[in-house]
Structure 1
C-alpha cells in the first residue's frame, strides 16, 4: 500500500527531493500561484487515496491484505449483525475504512491548522503551501498506523462517522449540482433572449429531455440490480420514494408562482410559462 502511494506521488515530490532547502520551506512548485497549486496538490492526495482504496477492494487483494500482521485475526463485527463475519469477506472493507480514516485525520488536521488564515502572508500559510514531501510522509505514516488499530469499537464508531459524513456529503453535492444547473439554465436563457431564441431554447429543451431520460434509466437500473421480485422491500421503498419526490419537484418547478421572480427584483429574464426551469430538477434525480 505504501509502495503504491510512493509510486503515485514520486513525480510530484521529485522537485522537493532534488531541490534546495528553500523549496521545502516554501513550496515544491513555483510560488506565483501557491494557493492554486496547493489545491491541486491536496486534490491529488485525495484522488491518490481514493485509488488506493479502490485497489484494496478489488478481487484477489484480500490474500495480500491478510498478510499484514495482526490485521486479519478472527472475524470482524458489523453494526446490526450479532455474529462475527469471516475476515476473508471483510478484509477489503476493513482496509478501506482505515485508509479513509487516515485521509480524514490528515485533512482534518490541516483544516484545523488553517482556521482564520486570511492570506498567504500568515505564517501558517507556508505550512499549507509547502512541505509537500513531509506531508506525504505524514499521510503514509497515519495510514500505516491506522492498519494497526485493533478491531472492536473502532469499526462500529467509524461506521457511524461514515453514515453521517456520507449524508452530509450527499446534501452538499446536491446543493452544488442544483446551483450548477440553475446557473447553466440562466446562462442559456440570457443567450436565448439576446441571440437566436429558437436555437437556444431547443438546446435547453434537448438537454432537459436527455437528463430526464438518463434519470429514468437510472431508476430502472436501480430496480433491476438492487432489488429482487420477492425481497429487498426497503430498497424498493427508497427508490420509489425518490422517484415520486423527483416527479413532484419537477411539477412544482414549472408552476407559474415558482417561475415568476421576486417582485422587488428588476431582473425579469425568467418569465411565467418558461419550462426551462425543468433543467435544474433533473440533477436532483440522482
Structure 2
C-alpha cells in the first residue's frame, strides 16, 4: 500500500514539473527550500518515507532475519501462531516472527502519519505557523518515525497482533476500494480523452490505439487470472482461493458484457466524447 501511495505521489510530482534542485541540505533541520517548491518537496519526501517503510517491512521477511527478531522479548511467545486468527498451531515461530515484525513496522508508520495528520488539522495554507512543521524539519521527523517504529517492537504481545490484524484487514479493504474508484475514474478519463481526439481528426489511428489498449488490458487480466490459479491454488485444495478467483473473474466478465449492451450505452451522457466508439 505504501509503495503505491509513494509512486502516486512521485507521479504527481513529475507531472507537476517540480524540482528538488532548490532544496539545500539544512532543509533536513528546518524550512529553507524555496516557497514555490515546498508542496512538491513535501509530497516527494513523504512518499520516500512510505517507500522506506515498505522496504523495511520487506527486509523483515527476508531469510535469516527470524534469528535476530526472535531475540526481541515476546516475539516468540508460545512458539506458534496462537495470536493470529486462522493459524492456531499451524505456523511455527520461525515463519510467524517475520509477519509480526511487518505488523509492527506498519503500526509505527501508521502512528507517525496519524500524528502529523492530527497536528495539521485545519491548516489551509503555507502561511499557517504549523505549515513550517509540515514542510520542513525532516531530520527530526525521520527520527520520530524511526523511534515510533523501533518502539513498537517492544510492545508486549498480548492482543496487539490480533487487533492489528483486524485493523490491517479493514484498512486494506478501504484502500482497495478507493484504488478501484480511482482506477475506474482514470480509465474513464483516458477513454474520454482519446475518443475526443479521435473525433477531432485521424479517427482510424485513435480507434486502433483504443482497441489495442483494450485488448492488451484484457490479455493481461486473463494472464493474471491464470497465474492466480497456478500459484495460489492446488488441485486437491485451496477451495476458498478458487472460489474468490472465480467470482472475481465472473464479475469482470459480467461488467464487461453489461458495459457494451445497447441499453447501457444509450443511458450514457451524449456530450460527444463520453461513449466508446464501439
TM-score (norm 2): 0.85
Change (3 A) 1:141 1:23: closer
Query: In the comparison of the two structures, how many residue pairs are matched?
Result: 254
Aligned equivalent of 1:242, options 232, 241, 248: 248
**For residue 210 of structure 1, what is the aligned residue in structure 2?**
216
**For residue 17 of structure 2, what is the aligned residue in structure 1?**
none
Q: How far apart, in 2, do the equivalents of 1:47 and 1:175 lie?
A: 23
Moved more, 60-69 or 174-183: 60-69
Give 1:84 shift: 7.8
**For residue 79 of structure 1, what is the aligned residue in structure 2?**
85
Q: How far apart, in 1, do the equivalents of 2:56 and 2:34 lie?
A: 28
**For residue 151 of structure 1, what is the aligned residue in structure 2?**
157
- Residues 208-243 of structure 1 deviation map (CA, whole Å, 9 limit, x = unaligned): 001101101111111111111121111111111111
Give 1:31 shift: 3.0
Q: How far apart, in 1, do the equivalents of 2:216 and 2:143 lie?
A: 46
Change (3 A) 1:243 1:85: closer
- Residues 180-227 of structure 1 deviation map (CA, whole Å, 9 limit, x = unaligned): 111111111011111210110011001100110110111111111111
Q: How far apart, in 2, do the equivalents of 1:96 and 1:55 lie?
A: 9
**For residue 279 of structure 1, what is the aligned residue in structure 2?**
none
Change (3 A) 1:249 1:125: same
- Residues 62-85 of structure 1 deviation map (CA, whole Å, 9 limit, x = unaligned): 123223355444424211344484
Unaligned runs of 5+ in 2: 1-22
**For residue 184 of structure 1, what is the aligned residue in structure 2?**
190
Aligned equivalent of 2:277, options 253, 274, 277: 274
Q: How far apart, in 2, do the equivalents of 1:134 and 1:91 lie?
A: 30
Give 1:58 shift: 1.4
Q: How far apart, in 2, do the equivalents of 1:83 and 1:262 lie?
A: 54
Matched-pair contact (CA < 8 Å) for 2:268–2:274: no
Q: How far apart, in 2, do the equivalents of 1:246 and 1:126 lie?
A: 47
TM-score (norm 1): 0.83
**For residue 126 of structure 1, what is the aligned residue in structure 2?**
132
Corresponding residue SS for 2:130: helix
Q: How far apart, in 2, do the equivalents of 1:261 and 1:247 lie?
A: 20
**For residue 43 of structure 1, what is the aligned residue in structure 2?**
47
Q: How far apart, in 1, do the equivalents of 2:246 and 2:131 lie?
A: 48
Q: How far apart, in 1, do the equivalents of 2:34 and 2:76 lie?
A: 44
Change (3 A) 1:80 1:69: closer
Corresponding residue SS for 1:123: coil
Q: How far apart, in 1, do the equivalents of 2:84 and 2:28 lie?
A: 46
- Note the aligned Cα RMSD (angstroms): 2.1
Aligned equivalent of 1:105, options 100, 107, 111: 111
Matched-pair contact (CA < 8 Å) for 1:260–1:270: no
Aligned equivalent of 2:59, options 44, 55, 63: 55
